[in-house]
Structure 1
């Protein structure tokens, strides 16, 4: 059960309208790594979670918080669009310099949403569920969550540098701080699961089950010009789980044979030379 509370998690109060910034904030709302994505990702991971109750509870806690972040950004976009009318924009656009600036506004804010936020990115591309990961494997999902929070915090920090509005920056600082905590949170959860199930996903398919292919789990194949990649920890030393040692392979040769597929049935009308 969800219950809406009218107060926002953090204060949202802009100093002045800014339609161009409103468009930029749309990326933080409905972009691939926006708040809608983490909201849906955490909630669906929580809805589908089976097993230890603490993981489900954590996912529902943070997923519900992200609903609040979506609401905050919708309020922020609305405030940035306050006082903007179609007639005023048309009149202002008669000035060449203003017209150039207004080219960065989002026309859908006027035409489609009536000066409100939309579930889309900064270019008007609709948010879609393909942005989220909810596999049922907690370690795999939590790693996806860490990536989502890393990318999300990066994008908020970039938009932060695009404005001097202290009210907007205050909202962003709160979001950046929460995203930092969420990264800590996923790191802690990942470390706990790695300690319990191993570092490779899925832990239920152990290295010994790979049988004759196990040696390839430790080989770094140099397949591009240069040998600088040999200097990384991924090409020397031991695997994180201690099951083997890495090996650097310079100019590796293919192990398989050249494929020789059978011609398709004539009824497919493929253009091939028989």
Structure 2
């Protein structure tokens, strides 16, 4: 059961409308690493969790928090779109700055109109100057963005990745505006992303120390079923050997179960493939598909 508190987690309204920036903010809602993705990812991971209750509870805590982040961004977009008249959207791109100067009008107004005309048209046509469940170029949010595998260590690593990318995009958007209200709201969300990155690092450490799951994932698969002679080799598959200087090329492996080995010139371990002839009724082209030679009958 979910409850909604009408008060936002945190919010400072933008000082002025900016329909072009509203288009950019959509990435933080419906992009690959947007709040819709992490919200659904954490909730499904929590609902599917079969591990200790603390992990399930933590996942549902953060998944529910992300619902509030979407509401904050949707509210921001509504304010950024407020005051963007339809006439400006329709006519803004028709006049150039040079034409404005030669015509005696204020070029600053013309520039404002051009920017407004670059807004996401769906913000007026589809959502009536509100947020949509899509990214900054109008691509609809997709459930395939989320990861909920049932393996907590694999999922927590994916969560760390999502929060790292999400914070990266949020700080980039912070630098794309000078609106104090927008920056103040984003600074809160960036701070929460800082917490969430640390949270997933702590959760990974907690999970591994418990012995429930360790590297390599899944740790319950018997490693004696692997071709273990290749399990800790780094293969140099490009020209140059600078990669030999990395931690991944020498010393004990990160799981403590092997020793890294650098293979400077890896050789193929298999033969050249010989494709099977295939199903003749599919009429694929192969050596056996040549039509039979016609035989002339004696007249």
TM-score (norm. length: structure 1): 0.96
Give, in whole Å, the separation in 1 of the partners of 2:83 and 2:115.
Answer: 17
**Could you say which residue in structure 1 is the equivalent of 2:101?**
none
Residue 103 of structure 1: CA displacement?
Answer: 5.0
**Could you say which residue in structure 2 is the equivalent of 1:2?**
2
Residue 229 of structure 2 corresponds to residue 215 of structure 1? yes
Aligned pairs for 1:22-171 (under 5 A) are 22-97=22-97, 98=111, 100-102=114-116, 104-171=118-185
Q: RMSD of the TM alignment (CA)?
A: 1.3
Residue 100 of structure 1: CA displacement?
Answer: 4.3
Shift of the 251–100 alpha-carbon distance from structure 1 to 2, 3 Å rule, reads farther
**Could you say which residue in structure 2 is the equivalent of 1:202?**
218
Indicate if the aligned counterparts of 2:88 and 2:117 stay in contact, CA closer than 8 A. Answer: no
Give, in whole Å, the separation in 1 of the partners of 2:222 and 2:207.
Answer: 15
3-state SS of 1:42 partner: helix
Indicate if the aligned counterparts of 2:82 and 2:129 stay in contact, CA closer than 8 A. Answer: yes
Shift of the 221–103 alpha-carbon distance from structure 1 to 2, 3 Å rule, reads farther
Question: Which of the residues 191, 194, 218 maps onto 2:205?
Answer: 191
Q: Return 30-39 or 257-266, whichever deviates more.
A: 257-266
Q: Return 11-20 or 90-99, whichever deviates more.
A: 90-99
Residue 255 of structure 1: CA displacement?
Answer: 0.8
**Unaligned stretches of 5+ in structure 2?**
98-110, 289-299
**Unaligned stretches of 5+ in structure 1?**
none
Residue 28 of structure 2 corresponds to residue 12 of structure 1? no
Residue 187 of structure 2 corresponds to residue 173 of structure 1? yes
TM-score (norm. length: structure 2): 0.88
Residue 88 of structure 1: CA displacement?
Answer: 3.0
Q: Deviations over 1:145-195 (max 9, x none)?
A: 000000000000001100000100011100000000000000001112222
Question: Which of the residues 282, 285, 288 maps onto 1:268?
Answer: 282
Shift of the 92–100 alpha-carbon distance from structure 1 to 2, 3 Å rule, reads closer
**Could you say which residue in structure 2 is the equivalent of 1:238?**
252
Give, in whole Å, the separation in 2 of the partners of 1:6 and 1:21.
Answer: 25
**Could you say which residue in structure 1 is the equivalent of 2:105?**
none
3-state SS of 1:248 partner: strand
Give, in whole Å, the separation in 1 of the partners of 2:52 and 2:90.
Answer: 58
Give, in whole Å, the separation in 1 of the partners of 2:222 and 2:181.
Answer: 52
